C-alpha cells in the first residue's frame, strides 16, 4: 500500500476496514513541495486541527484534498508536424501553484473550494488546456529570433543551459548542434542527432545517418524566421 495521507482523519491509502473493498481507500498522493515557501502555503491551507504536528519530507497529501480540475491525469504531446495527441499519465501531477483546499468530513468552513470555473470535468480540462496553449503561444511570440546574428548571440549566452549531452559549435555561417550518446557496449561516443542552422536561417536535421524530410521540421517555422529544407 502506498503512503498514507497525512491529513488527520483522512483515510487516503489506509488499509480497508473489515467488509470494505480492498481498494476502497486507494488514491493518488502528492508530496509536500520541497520549496519552503510553497510548503508553507500548503500547511496554511490545512486546518490546524487536521495538520500533523511534524511534517517530514516523505509525508504526502492525497488527491481528495485538491480540486479535481487541477489534478492533471493526462498529457498532451506535439508531433513534429504540429498535431497533438493525448494519453493518460501513469501518475497524476498537480497543476502549478495548486494547494490543498478540500477537507471532507469537516465543518464546511474548514474547506475553501475555489469558485467553480466550469461545470463538467471535460470543460475544466479544456480550460486548463486552453490556458497552456495560451502560455505556449505567448512564449513562442515573445521568443522570436530576428536573424542569424541574433540567434548566434543567444546560443553563446545560453549554451550552458543545454543538457550536457548536447554540444553547440558556432562558425561564421553555421551553428551545429550535436547530440552525443555513449554506446555502453563499445564505449565509443556516437552522434545520435545533429541540427545545422545556416546563416540564411534554414535548418537541416540528421539522425540515423540520414537527413530528415523538411515536413518533419515544419514546427520550427512558427515565427517565420527559420526556413526548413
Number of residues that this document lists for the chain: 229
Q: Which is nearer to Zn ion, 10 or 217 (CB)?
A: 10
State the residues that interact with Zn ion by CB under 5 A.
Answer: 5, 7, 10, 12, 62, 64
- Closest approach, Cβ 64 to Zn ion, in A, equals 5
Q: Which is nearer to Zn ion, 100 or 148 (CB)?
A: 100
- Closest approach, Cβ 141 to Zn ion, in A, equals 41
DSSP state of 155: H
Q: Which is nearer to Zn ion, 62 or 228 (CB)?
A: 62
Of 116, 95, 113, 93, the residue nearest 104 (C-alpha): 113
- Closest approach, Cβ 124 to Zn ion, in A, equals 21
Is 109:47 a contact under the CB 8 Å cutoff?
no
- Closest approach, Cβ 103 to Zn ion, in A, equals 8
For residue 42, CA distances in Å to 1, 31, 169, 174 come to: 24, 11, 45, 49
Of 54, 70, 62, 59, the residue nearest 104 (C-alpha): 62
Q: Where are the beta strands (DSSP E) in 121-219?
A: 166-170, 174-183, 188-198, 202-207, 210-211
Q: Which is nearer to Zn ion, 7 or 217 (CB)?
A: 7
- Closest approach, Cβ 10 to Zn ion, in A, equals 3
Helix, strand, or coil (residue 197): strand
Q: Which is nearer to Zn ion, 64 or 205 (CB)?
A: 64
Amino acid at each position: 500500500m502506498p503512503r498514507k495521507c497525512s491529513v488527520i482523519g483522512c483515510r487516503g491509502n489506509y488499509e480497508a476496514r473489515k467488509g470494505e473493498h480492498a481498494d476502497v481507500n486507494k488514491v493518488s498522493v502528492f508530496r509536500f513541495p520541497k520549496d519552503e515557501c510553497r510548503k508553507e502555503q500548503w500547511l496554511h491551507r490545512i486546518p490546524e486541527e487536521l495538520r500533523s504536528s511534524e511534517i517530514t519530507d516523505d509525508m504526502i497529501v492525497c488527491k481528495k484534498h485538491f480540486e479535481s480540475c487541477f489534478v492533471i491525469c493526462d498529457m498532451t504531446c506535439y508531433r513534429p508536424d504540429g498535431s497533438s495527441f493525448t494519453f493518460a499519465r501513469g501518475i497524476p501531477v498537480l497543476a502549478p501553484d495548486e494547494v490543498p483546499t478540500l477537507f471532507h468530513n469537516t465543518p464546511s468552513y474548514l474547506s475553501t473550494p475555489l469558485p467553480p470555473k466550469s461545470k463538467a470535468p471535460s470543460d475544466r480540462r479544456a480550460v486548463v488546456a486552453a490556458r497552456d496553449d495560451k502560455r505556449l503561444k505567448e512564449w513562442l511570440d515573445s521568443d522570436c529570433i530576428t536573424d542569424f546574428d541574433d540567434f548566434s548571440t543567444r546560443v553563446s549566452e545560453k549554451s550552458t543551459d543545454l543538457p550536457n549531452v548536447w554540444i553547440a559549435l558556432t562558425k561564421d555561417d553555421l551553428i551545429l548542434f550535436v547530440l552525443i550518446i555513449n554506446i555502453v557496449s563499445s564505449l565509443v561516443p556516437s552522434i545520435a542527432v545533429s541540427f545545422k542552422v545556416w546563416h540564411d536561417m534554414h535548418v537541416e536535421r540528421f539522425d540515423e545517418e540520414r537527413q530528415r524530410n523538411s515536413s518533419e521540421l515544419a514546427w520550427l517555422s512558427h515565427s517565420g524566421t527559420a526556413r526548413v529544407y
